[in-house]
Amino acid sequence: MSRNVFITGASSGIGKAIAYAFGKNGDDLILCARRIGKLEEIKADIERRFGVNVYIFELDVTKYDKVSKTVKNILRKVSKIDILINNAGLALGLEKFQEYSITDMEIMIDTNVKGLLYVSREIIPNMVENNEGHIINMGSTAGIYAYAGAAVYCATKAAVKFLSDGIRIDTIDKNIKVSTLQPGIVETDFSEIRFHGDKERAKDVYLGIEALKPEDIANVALYVANQPKHVQISDVTIMATQQA
Ligand code: NDP
């Protein structure tokens, strides 16, 4: 049966690949991101290829009022969210903690932690009401092992893991599953954004190893979402074979 799948950060990279994977699976999609133009292209292509319904919403997950209004608007259209995929996120900079820009630190915390909180806080009551749901949060291996120059990014992804675990405990009597995906290095716009558009520096990140593709993570997300009702995959770590 077709499900309503809500994906944040669906305009590029992993979120976009997840949208295609679930669309191909026959699910209806609610796609959010700030770049509405990209979402318009994705909506047209997925609807044409797979014949599912795709709703798109311009949304900055760091703005609570906007999140709240948008989710209310979405729930008037689709009435039920079966799966929420909190994927929107970013890293900015790769500097020693003492040299980091406060602005970059704040943007990472606002997007990766507060954004996930805002969206989840607005959608989980709908799942509670329906006595079922599945939340899939995009963590990272950065949330398991800290690495040089990324103290704040790693802390945000460790927070994602603990928010997943805490939400699972608090909703355990409501048939709500919570899963954390923890990818290693994936080739997306992530690195270019991290280095504020410096393409050469971004390219160096992948030197010497074959990185994961966004579709690799999307396949895992779909596998996690397609388990029987009594099976909950709580955490998955997905590494590039050559990544140490
Ligand atoms: P991309 O840069 O390709 O995608 C990031 C997505 O997040 C975009 O769709 C972007 O949309 C969205 N986004 C960013 N900020 C906001 C915001 N304030 N409000 C709404 N949407 C926002 O990178 P990835 O696909 O690689 O990243 C997706 C997730 O995967 C992130 O959480 C990242 O931390 C995680 N991850 C990535 C890894 C990698 O190596 N690439 C490894 C492990 C985890 P828009 O700009 O249109 O708003």
Query: Mutate which of 87, 110, 112 to test ligand 1's pocket (most atoms within 8 Å of Cβ)?
Result: 87
CB under 6 Å to ligand 1: residues? 8-15, 33-35, 38, 59-62, 87-90, 111, 115, 138, 140, 183, 185-186, 188-190, 193
Query: Mutate which of 16, 90, 141 to test ligand 1's pocket (most atoms within 8 Å of Cβ)?
Result: 90
Neighbours of 118 (CB within 10 A): 23
Using CA positions, which residue lies closest to atom 3 of ligand 1? 13
CA distance 189 to 195: 10
Structural domains for the chain: 4-183+213-238 (3.40.50.720)
Assess: ipTM above 0.90: yes
- Residue-wise pLDDT for 69-127, tens only, equals 999 999 999 999 999 999 999 999 999 999 999 999 999 999 999 999 999 999 999 99
According to the model, what pLDDT value does residue 135 have? 98
CA distance 113 to 93: 17
- Asked if 189 and 89 count as a contact pair (C-beta separation under 8 A), the reply is no
Say whether 157 is catalytic.
yes
Tokens for 197?
A: 């558009």
- Asked if 86 and 141 count as a contact pair (C-beta separation under 8 A), the reply is no
According to the model, what pLDDT value does residue 160 have? 98
Contacts of 67 (CB under 8 A, 6+ apart): 59, 61, 115, 118, 119, 122
CA of 129 to the centre of ligand 1 (A): 29
Say whether 153 is catalytic.
yes
pTM here? 0.98
CA of 184, closest atom in ligand 1: 42
- Residue-wise pLDDT for 152-184, tens only, equals 999 999 999 999 999 999 999 999 999 999 999
